Amino acid sequence: MKNKLIALASASCLLLLAGCGSEPSESNMKEAIQKSPMKIAFSDKDLASIRKISCKNDGDKAYNCDIEVSGMAIPVRFVKGSDGWLAMKKE
C-alpha cells in the first residue's frame, strides 16, 4: 500500500512539472496579446477570433508561435514571465 501511494504521489508531481514547461494555450495567447502593445492593432472581434496554429520551443521559457487572427497567419513570440505570458510581434 505504501509503495502504491509513493508511486501515485510521484506520478502526480511529474504531471504538475510537465505542465510548467508547456507552450501557451489559446487563452494564454489572448490574455498576453491583450496586455501587450500589440493590442492596438486588433479589434475586440479580432482578439476573440485568435486561434493557435503551431508553436516551437525557442529557449527556456519562450515559444515562437503562429496564430490565426481573422483569417491571417501572424508569427508571435511568447515568453513566460513572472506574471504570466508576454507577447512580442516577430519580425
Higher pLDDT residue, 3 or 80? 80
pLDDT band of 50, cuts 50, 70, 90: very high
- Mean pLDDT confidence for 19-41: 88
Predicted structure pTM score: 0.73
- Mean pLDDT confidence for 41-66: 94
Q: What pLDDT is recorded for position 25?
A: 97
Measured CA to CA, the distance from residue 20 to residue 43 in angstroms comes to: 31
Residue 5 DSSP label: H
Task: Give which of 59, 63, 91 is closest to 77, Cα–Cα.
Answer: 63
Q: Kindly tell me if the per-residue pLDDT of 61 is higher than 60.
A: yes
Q: Which residues contact 25 (CB under 8 A, 6 or more apart)?
A: 52
The share of the chain scoring above pLDDT 70, in percent, equals 76
